[in-house]
Each structure stands twice: as structure tokens, then as C-alpha cells.
A and B are shown apart, each in its own frame.
Chain A
Amino acid sequence: MELSEHIKTANVEDVTLRRPFHPALRGTLCVTSHHLLFSDRKDEASWQLLILLKNIDAIEKSVENLFGYPRAVGSSGTITIKCKDLLVLQLEIPGMEECLNIASSIEALSSLESVTEMYPFFYRPSHLTLNGPWGLSSTEQYYKQTERLWDRWRVSTLNSDYSVCPSYPSAVIMPREVDDDKLIRSARFRQGGRFPVLSYCHHRNGMVIMRSSQPLTGANKKRCKEDELLLQAVIDGSELGYIIDLRSAQQAQQARMTGGGFESKSFYSHWKRIHRHHERGKVVQESLIKLVEACSDPSHSVDRWLSKLENSKWLSHVHSALSTAGLVVECVERDGHSVLVHGSEGTDNTLLVSSLAQLILDPASRTVTGFLCLLEREWIQAGHPFQQRCAHSAYSHARLKQECPIFLLLLDCVWQVWRQFPLALEFSEALLLRLAQEVYASNYGTFLCNSEQERCAAGVKENTHCLFQSLLRPDIEEQYLNPLYEPTDLAIWPSVHPQSLQLWTGLFLRWTEYAQNMEEAREEVWSIVKEHHEQAGPDRTNNTLSTHCDTLTPFENLMDELTIL
């Protein structure tokens, strides 16, 4: 079925649009295969609202005169559109039938399942060409750039046809002394074939963060020599490593009943296991739903608000993610040990913790490019199933399947780190907000599909544009820079006291007046910083000055006098 066949009514005139904190507008509404377009059709300075249909999470319609005469004069309907970026719009559409038509078109077109029908495959802006480089880096490039890896690590391409592990990229970084055969065996011993791979090597002491899925020890405590050897090779004999298991000890025990399990002390004698409980899947998704619900009701009393905030548990998830990341950093940076992180599948919380730990540890991942590379390596290439996790957001009435806002949780945690170290990150909150939007609905192909294998099959690289590439274009990048950025080589340990963590108002209260005040204050900060840079500015200021000084020799004394002023 062609996409256009879903569209029963493409155009309606005289529609009233209501947005929070804006006066109502009248204009024309259009539905296309991928967009909802509202235009106020004024000749001058006409204003348009363009919403990706994929951004629409839920649509609610209320039709007056439902049981009245068909096409009765004056019948009308109201559609409430709730977007995945948490914006809520209301459209008053004259004509009951039009209203129902529009609603059903939106419903059908906003929940497309087939990847190649999605908008990124049709997005062809004039300033971009499809032949440009896609993505920022690959495993091979990363390896090439990271000299400290060369000695003990190698790139293995055993997964080049995705047969060993369907959710891994084609190339992974492994210890030199472990050959591919052993890896294949280890992969068979890990859920989904996600054997331990290198995620990060610390620039100070060469310690590494590895990640994997759970071992399939099962009820009768199976073991796998190759897996043990692999981990032994990681820590190089003499030392000791930590396994951070993102489940409680009890959950890990229970996992054995369903074929999963954990690394037992007796077989992995050089590894010390620490259990940290993390919620996953549905629980986290429901947290988001509850939180957004709590934020969108302005009538709550303080008590009710706090109790709803608590009840949503969202901040608890933020708290545990940052705490565990802190623990990993503590192992690597302070105590100088390597770490293996895993939960069950190793595609969600595992990535969350390993990427947060890198942000805290590694100054390179705190630049715009570095952060996007981190996301690319640790989320996109590492096989976070974006399509499943981000199919719906907080408003959807659809039955939850695989949805889980783990990526949003990551952005929230990064925001918390930025709050505590406002000078340490090169990017600003705006980048996080943009990513929070793009991950749910995008013109770009970056967040499509669930793994590199799927992206290959769908031809994502050939047929869509890359978000990260476009974010890094100088004119675009500027709006995401943190004006106060001052690089530091040190680890930035965030405080995880509950008093130090906050609701991310920039995201969850994004569409309120409050956000506008904040925006104005931010602009003021920008202008002060700009003024500062212009005046005190780059070093060349001094050079030009010194030349002036040369010409002003008669006044040297004067200058001296002034310096002491």
C-alpha cells in the first residue's frame, strides 16, 4: 500500500491551532506522507509549523455532534496531538468528517513499521549529498587513533558477516593473545553472542572497560574455558578485575533458571563481582510515562507533586546510573583495575553505564565530536535497539512492547554531569535536547534500526543522511557549543547525593514559560562571554598590542605607569 493511500483528507482550511503559551492561530492544515503542516497563510511573515508524523506519539480526538447529521453545518472536531518531544498541540478542525479523516491518517502514518518507508529515506535537502561520509568513526579508525591500544589489543573482524553476534558491529577490539576461534566459543557462551569486547581504554593507566551480555551458565553451572581465558587475557595475569553486574545478586541467581547466569568466583578467580541493581525495560518506560504525566498537570499541590515525582522513580534511575558509573570510574581511575560491565542482554543499562563512565573519565569524550563519537561507538554500533526502544514515548496508548527510554536516561545523566561541571563539557544542553528529539523522530538515518546488521540490510548508509555529520557542520555546531567550556584532563566525578540531582527541567518542562526565561538568561551569558572573548580575547590581541607599543616608544613610560594603575 502506498503511503499516500492513507491520506483521506489532505487539506483543511480554517483550522485553529492552540499551543501552550502562544495565542491561538488560524490557518490551513495539510497532511503529507511524513509531515503535518500548519500554515497561517498570511501573506507577509507567514508562520508555519512542520511536524514529522513520526514525532506524534498519541492523538486524541473529540468530535462534537457525533451522532448528529452527517456534514451538519457547524459540526467540528478537536484533535489533541501529543508529540514524542513532549509538545502538546490542539487543532480545531471544522467538519466532523475531515477531523476524523485527518486523525486516522495521522494514526496510520505515524506508526509505520517498515524502515525504508520512513522519512530519512526521503529527506533530500539541497545542501547535503548522499555520497558524503556516513558516521564519524569506525572500530578500525578508533583503533588507529588510539595508540595505547596497539600493544596488547587488536581489531578482530570475525563478525564481519554478523554471524557470530548479530547485534555487534563487524569489527571489535580484542586482546591480542586471544584468537578468533576462542572468541567464537566465548560468543556461544554469552546471551545473543555478545562476548566481552573492549569499550574504553583509560588514557592514564591503560586499564580498560569491557562490556558483554550475561554468561549462559544455566542451572547446572556450565563453564566456558575460552570465555575464562578471554577475561584472563584482559587483565593480563597478575592483576585483578571487577565485574559490575547490573542486576542484584538475587536477580542474577534467578537468571540461571532461564539459562543465564553470572561469572562464578571459582572459575574467574581474578575477577571480583559487584552487583548493582538497575531497573530495565518496562519499568523504566513506565517511569517516563508517570513523570511526564506528573509534569503536565499544573494543578498539583507540592505534596502531590513530590509524591508523584518520587513515585515515577525516574530520578532514582538517574541516581543509580550515575552511582554505578561512578563506581566503574572508581575502579579504573582510582584503584587502577579493569572492569567488565554487563547486565542481561548487554544492550541497555550496560551501554548506559559504560558510556557514562567514559564521559566522566575521558576528556576526549567531552567535546562535541568526542561525545557524538562516543554515542556512535557505544550506542549505535554497539547495537542498542533504537527502533524497538524508541517506538513510542510517554504519551502513547499503544501496548508497550520493547519500548524503554534508556537513551533518554543517558541524556538526563549527562545533563546532571553538566550541571555539576558546567565548564567541563564542550557542548551545551541544547545538543542534549536535540538528541532527545532526534532519537524519537528524525530526518536523518542515524537512529534507524536496531543494529548495524539491520542498517546494512536496509541500506541506511546509502540512502539517508547522517545526523552526526550534519551536527558537526560549523554553522550548526555553533548553536550547540558551551560558551564556558574549559577543557580539563581530570576525571569529573559527579556528586550522587539525592540533593545534588535535579529534575531536568529543560526537557520535562520544555514547553513552558519557564523555559523561555532560562533561554533568555542563557543568551545573556553567551553575550557576556562573547564580549569577554572579544576584549580579552585570543592571544593575537597581545601581538597587535606589542606592535603598537613599538610605535609608541615615546610613551613607554606612560604605558608602564598605566600597567601599575
Chain B
Amino acid sequence: MEHIRTPKVEQVKLLDRFSNKSVIGTLHLTATHLIFVESNSTSAQEIWILHHHIASMEKLSLTTSGCPLLIQCRNFRLVHFVIPRERDCHDIYSSLLRLLRPVSYDELYAFSYNPKQNDQQREEGWQLIDLAAEFERMGVPCDQWQLTDVNREYKVCETYPRDLYVPITASKPIIVGSSKFRSKGRFPVLTYFYQEKKAAVCRCSQPLSGFSARCLEDEHMLQAISKANHNSRYIYVMDTRPKLNALANRAAGKGYENEDNYSNIRFQFVGIENIHVMRGSLQKLLEVVGTRSLSMTDYLVGLENSGWLRHIKAIMDAAIFLAKAVTVEGASVLVHCSDGWDRTAQVCALGSLLMDPYYRTIKGFMVLIEKDWISFGHKFADRCDQLDPDQKEVSPIFTQFLECVWQLTEQFPQAFEFSEWFLIQIHEHVHSCQFGNFLGNSQRQREVLQLKERTYSLWAHLLSEKQNYMNPVYSPSFAESHPVLEPSTQACHFKFWRNMYHQYDRSMHPRQSILKQVLTFKESNRELEGTVQALKTKLQKFGVSTSPLKPQTPPRDRSLPPRPQSLILGAPLLSRKEVQQEEDEEVFGEEAREDAPASTDGERTVEGSSATENGYGELTGSFGSKNEPAVVTLEFGVARMTC
């Protein structure tokens, strides 16, 4: 708190990013959030920005109306305040500068966040995901694969988890030898086991081969992986880097596997660019889509020049290659890049998602992230800029993974149990530092930080509001008929993910949402069924046959459950508690509820699309535009969940 010089500034103007609209309100600065409350009492919009979400701030030069402050967030929100007095602006700016650069982990929000749960609940939250159980589900350990305790003390590889699965035939000396020949000691280990063909997906980092070095233990290791699979005489080694990058690494004593030294490997470059290219690409993309009155031509040219979708496709292509090699050829695959924690994580995770319907469920997707990203040491702290001020380490690698999954949900609307809001919410919290899951760079570091004792798990939180993230058209039978997804890689299927990159730009979004509507219907169908069942049992208790009472329901239950509201329709918003409250309050107001939610909601959403926002033309002011209708005011953000 000592960093806050001005906790409250009044008469602050908030400018809309894409139109000439603005609202006046009060800016509050707290230890964790920057809060803007609109003064207009009818709509009273609130914006809560978590300090950790702020990526950059810019104080623009003074104008007649005040001092503009531009804040860019990691969840792609961009807010433009105009603060009347320069001094206030400066105070806010310098306070924020200090607040959003925490110097130690202890300052992160996760360590002060308290959702009013007791210790037991918190522990249960952390126990939701059990990776040992996950490997068991895949059928490991088995006659060819075993759990090794070689890394129990993080002695062989600091950035790997303690529990690792290796071929039975890989002895400790082989493992240790191989790890010495791999960058950062990240030797080949199992990440996914395709039971049907006994084929394995393994991951590692690049070999330290330089121009000619070789390592017998490493060669044995690959041999052991190959031998563990009787279905195929060879294994694929996928180097996910472009060939040129791999070649350049040889000069630094690193490089890639020489096919002459390893028997029975098929070596393949995939050509996914490195973190720096990806960072630049996203930056270009955001610049383009942030332009005001963008023309269609500039948009498409900008989209192309950013290269963003090209990179997304490259990751997808690699994952498809992996899935085909495993499921069609029955071959095991070893995936690596340079250090084996960025591109490797993307490709392994996405490949497994294509192969295994379990990962397309809500729980399974959590497991997948826990396994391939968190436990195998994707450097969340560095990539998401949690602490370290080194901007060169920041890169949207995980965002890309989420986007690839989104592209798949677009191609296969029935294959996923979750909707895009689940992905967006995960993305939100990867950067929010509100939960412990993504803090730090490796399992070891997380243990040192005692995250499980001191913070809460995101997964428990997400599961508690699971109904918000359901995909209403999810069909388990689709999973049965399509155990392996074969997405089209035709370029026209790669689309811009508006709901991610423009989540907070409400003028961009559809005014009505199919998702939301169908979700509401489905939810009410479920509830009705439940009520019918309850009635039947009660009636039976009283000895009445259920036949005269056809599956009908009491009138009250016809009212729909409260719909989630947000800037974007279909986005989940109300946290459970609020929903509960609303219901409690309205139990006796049946009639009012009967129609109210539907009609007012419809009105708001439709009317919410207004001419000024869309900016069709030159008709400004001269004829006195009529009052803007009230807009949906609730805010989709972290803040709401914290109360």
C-alpha cells in the first residue's frame, strides 16, 4: 500500500478504443487492482484491472482536456484514460509502475488472494489433478515402460518433474549419460502413450552434438524407446525448429541428431519459429487489429504480414504429423526443439489432444496442461513476464497453444466438452498470478515457493463454475466415432480469433450468441428433468401413481436460469455466488422472473449495437443524436471472482 500515492481520482474520462465515445467516472487504485467506476448511475460500468495484467503503460502528452494514460493489458485489453490533472496522472502512473513490477514472488497476487476457503478445501483443490493417475490411464507403467526415480531429487534435470517414465531397458547410467548429452539435461522421457498401438510420444531437448560429437548412452536411449514399441521398426525424431536454426545451433555445440549415428530413426524438421519471432508476430497482429477505422484490405494485408496465422498453422501441421505417425503408422515419436519446453510442449500437447478424446473434456484438458506445460517446465514465469523484467524471454507460446485448440473447436464443433470461454479464462489466469498453478518456471521452483500450501489452484476454481464453460453441442458419441481428429490444414480454416484478441472491445462482437442461448436451453432442459424426477419420487412416496402427471413442471421452473452476461454475449460471467444470491432473492418473485430475464436481456443486447459504435459514417453531431441506450454493464474479469 505504501506505493499508492493517490488512491482515487474523480472526473476521469475513459475513451473507447474504436469510436468517439467516452464515459466519465472515478479511478480507484488499490493494492491489487486499478478500478474504474462509471459515474452515470444508470449503467455504472465498472472496469477492474489487475496490476499483473498490465503489460505496459504510456503517458501521452498533455491535452486540453487532461493527461492521457494508455494502458495495455496482457489479456489484450487496452484502456485509454484522460485524467484531468497532470499531477494525478503522474501519481497514478508512478504508483502503477512500482506496483506492476513485483520484485519477489511473495508480492504476487496469488499469495494474498483469499477466496474464503479453508485449508482442507484448498488442499482438495490441489489434489484434483493427479499425473500419476493420468499415466495409469494411458496404461503406464507397463511391460515396456516404467517409472524412474532418477530425478527424485531434481539431480539429473532441474526443470523436469520428479516422476518420469522411461523404457524398461533404459538403465540409470544410460539415462544419466543421455541427459549429459542433452541441453539443460532434458533427456528423452515419455509424455503420452498410445495404448492401441503401444506407440509412445517422448520429448527432450536438442542433443549437444555440435558438428560431430556423439553419445553412446543417448543413442542407446533412443534405441530403447524404439525397442519398446514392437509395432514399428523405426522411430520418428521431430525437430520442431526450422532447419536453419538447428544448423546454426551446431556452431554453439548443440544441434540435432545425425541419422548415421542413430539406428532406425527417421529425422524430420518441422519449422516452427522461435519465441522471438512469435513475440514479434503477435505484436504486429495487435498493432494491425488495434487500428481505428481499419479497412478490409489493410486488415487482411496486416493479418498476412503479421504471420500469426502462418505460425499457428505450422504448430498445427506439426501436431497432425505427430498424430498421424503414432496412430496410423504406429511409430513412436521423439519431439524436441532447442530446450524442449516451448515448441515441444506445443506439439506434444496438441498432438495428444488430436489422438485422445479425453483431453478434449474439461478435466482432461486440465490434465493435459498440467502434464505437458506445467510439470515439464514450460517457463510460465519468464514467458508471461510474471517477475523477471527480461522482455526477451516473454513470448505468447501458451497463447498459441490455446489458439490452436480454438481453431480445432471451430472445425469440430462437437468434439470438445468446453467452449472457447474456457480457453480464454485459462489465458486470463495464466497472466493474472491469482492462482498458484502457473507461477514459476519449473516444478522444483514451485515446491520451493510452497505454492500448494500458500496459494489456491485454478483448476478447482474453474471446475466450480464448470457450467459456464460447457459446450452445449458437445457429443461424446462424436468422440467415439472420431477418436482421432483429422483437421483440415487448408489455409482458409485458420481464422482470426476475435473473442480472444478483442475480448474487451464490445463494439466488435455479435450482439446475440447462439452459444449462450443453447447453453441456457440445455441447462433448463436438465433442470426440468431433475424437477420431474424429484416430483415423481415424492409422489411415489405419497402413493400416487405418476401417470396423471405427465412430465410437466411447476410454472416457476419455466423461468430460465440467469444468463451469463459480459461484454461478449455468451461469455460466462456471474460467479456461482452471485447466481446463488440472485436466486435466493427471487424465489418469491415468480411472476417478475417469468419474463424479465429474457426480455430485458434481449433488448439490451440488440439495442446495444448502436450506430455510433459502428461508425458507419459522417453523420456526426450536427443533428443531435439521441441518447445512447443502456448497455450491458457487467464486466468479465478477475475482479468479480475475487469478491
A interface, CB within 8 angstroms of B: 240, 274, 276, 294-295, 298, 300-307, 309-310, 313, 315-316, 318-319, 323-324, 326-327, 329-331, 333-337, 419-424, 484, 486, 488, 490-503, 505, 509, 512-514, 517-518, 520-521, 524-525, 528-529, 531-532, 535-536, 541-542, 544-545, 548, 551-552, 555, 558-559, 562-565
Name 11 A/B residue pairs within 8 A (Cβ), A-sorted: A294-B492, A302-B491, A327-B619, A423-B514, A498-B294, A499-B496, A524-B472, A528-B521, A531-B521, A532-B521, A563-B557
Total count of chain B residues near the partner, CB < 8 A: 88
Q: B310 touches which one: A302, A310, A423, A492 (CB < 8 A)?
A: A302
Would A301 and B555 count as touching, CB distance under 8 A? no
Would B521 and A529 count as touching, CB distance under 8 A? yes
Chain B, Cβ-Cβ closest to A329 = B611
B116: CB under 8 A from chain A?
A: no
Of B255-263, B370-378, B601-609, the one contacting chain A is B601-609
Q: B611 — which chain A residues lie within 8 A by C-beta?
A: 326, 329-330, 333-334, 493
B297: CB under 8 A from chain A?
A: yes
Would B509 and A500 count as touching, CB distance under 8 A? yes
Among B312, B535, B598, the most chain A Cβ lie within 10 Å of the Cβ of B535
Q: A240 — which chain B residues lie within 8 A by C-beta?
A: 623
Q: A422 — which chain B residues lie within 8 A by C-beta?
A: 510, 512-514, 517
Would A493 and B307 count as touching, CB distance under 8 A? no
Taken together as a complex, chains A and B put the C-alpha atoms of A324 and B526 apart, in Å, by 44
Q: Give the Cβ gap from A196 to chain B, nearest Cβ, in Å.
A: 21
Apart from A306-B304, A488-B603, what 14 extra A-B contacts exist at CB < 8 Å?
A: A306-B303, A310-B296, A327-B619, A333-B611, A334-B619, A422-B510, A422-B512, A423-B517, A488-B606, A492-B511, A496-B615, A499-B299, A500-B510, A532-B522
* Contact A558 B473, CB 8 Å, known A302-B313, A548-B549: no
B interface, CB within 8 angstroms of A: 18, 289, 294-301, 303-304, 307, 309-310, 312-313, 411-414, 472-473, 475, 478, 488, 490-496, 498, 502, 507-514, 517-518, 521-522, 524-525, 528-529, 531, 534-535, 538-539, 542, 544, 548-558, 587, 598, 602-603, 606-607, 609-611, 613-619, 623, 625-626
Q: A302 — which chain B residues lie within 8 A by C-beta?
A: 304, 309-310, 312-313, 491, 494
Q: A536 touches which one: B511, B553, B609, B618 (CB < 8 A)?
A: B553
Would A334 and B626 count as touching, CB distance under 8 A? yes
Q: Give the Cβ gap from A482 to chain B, nearest Cβ, in Å.
A: 10
Q: B602 — which chain A residues lie within 8 A by C-beta?
A: 423, 486, 488
Q: A333 — which chain B residues lie within 8 A by C-beta?
A: 611
Q: Give the Cβ gap from B62 to chain A, nearest Cβ, in Å.
A: 30
Would A323 and B300 count as touching, CB distance under 8 A? no
Would A310 and B297 count as touching, CB distance under 8 A? yes
Q: B512 — which chain A residues lie within 8 A by C-beta?
A: 420-424
Would A309 and B587 count as touching, CB distance under 8 A? no
Would A528 and B472 count as touching, CB distance under 8 A? yes
Would A306 and B300 count as touching, CB distance under 8 A? yes
Would A521 and B296 count as touching, CB distance under 8 A? no
Q: A524 touches which one: B414, B502, B508, B550 (CB < 8 A)?
A: B414
Would A326 and B411 count as touching, CB distance under 8 A? no
* Contact A528 B553, CB 8 Å, known A274-B617, A309-B300, A501-B296: no
Would B510 and A419 count as touching, CB distance under 8 A? yes
* Contact A528 B488, CB 8 Å, known A493-B611, A494-B614, A502-B495: no
Q: B518 touches which one: A421, A484, A551 (CB < 8 A)?
A: A484
Would B617 and A330 count as touching, CB distance under 8 A? yes
Q: B518 — which chain A residues lie within 8 A by C-beta?
A: 484, 525, 528-529
Taken together as a complex, chains A and B put the C-alpha atoms of A315 and B348 apart, in Å, by 36
Q: A330 touches which one: B491, B494, B510, B619 (CB < 8 A)?
A: B619
Would B603 and A490 count as touching, CB distance under 8 A? yes
Q: B303 — which chain A residues lie within 8 A by C-beta?
A: 306
Q: B522 — which chain A residues lie within 8 A by C-beta?
A: 528, 532
Would A517 and B525 count as touching, CB distance under 8 A? no
Q: B529 — which chain A residues lie within 8 A by C-beta?
A: 535
Would A500 and B508 count as touching, CB distance under 8 A? yes
Would B552 and A497 count as touching, CB distance under 8 A? no
Chain A, Cβ-Cβ closest to B623 = A335
Taken together as a complex, chains A and B put the C-alpha atoms of A548 and B511 apart, in Å, by 41
Q: A499 touches which one: B478, B502, B606 (CB < 8 A)?
A: B502
Taken together as a complex, chains A and B put the C-alpha atoms of A486 and B493 apart, in Å, by 30
Would B307 and A303 count as touching, CB distance under 8 A? yes
Chain B, Cβ-Cβ closest to A422 = B514
Q: B295 — which chain A residues lie within 8 A by C-beta?
A: 316, 319, 498
Q: B304 touches which one: A307, A318, A484 (CB < 8 A)?
A: A307
Chain B, Cβ-Cβ closest to A486 = B602
Would B538 and A562 count as touching, CB distance under 8 A? yes
Would B524 and A524 count as touching, CB distance under 8 A? no
Q: A424 — which chain B residues lie within 8 A by C-beta?
A: 512, 606
Taken together as a complex, chains A and B put the C-alpha atoms of A333 and B609 apart, in Å, by 13
Chain B, Cβ-Cβ closest to A520 = B414
Q: A316 — which chain B residues lie within 8 A by C-beta?
A: 295-297
Taken together as a complex, chains A and B put the C-alpha atoms of A212 and B525 apart, in Å, by 52
Would A532 and B524 count as touching, CB distance under 8 A? yes
Q: A420 — which chain B residues lie within 8 A by C-beta?
A: 510-512, 609
Would B493 and A524 count as touching, CB distance under 8 A? no
Q: B617 — which chain A residues lie within 8 A by C-beta?
A: 274, 276, 323, 326-327, 330
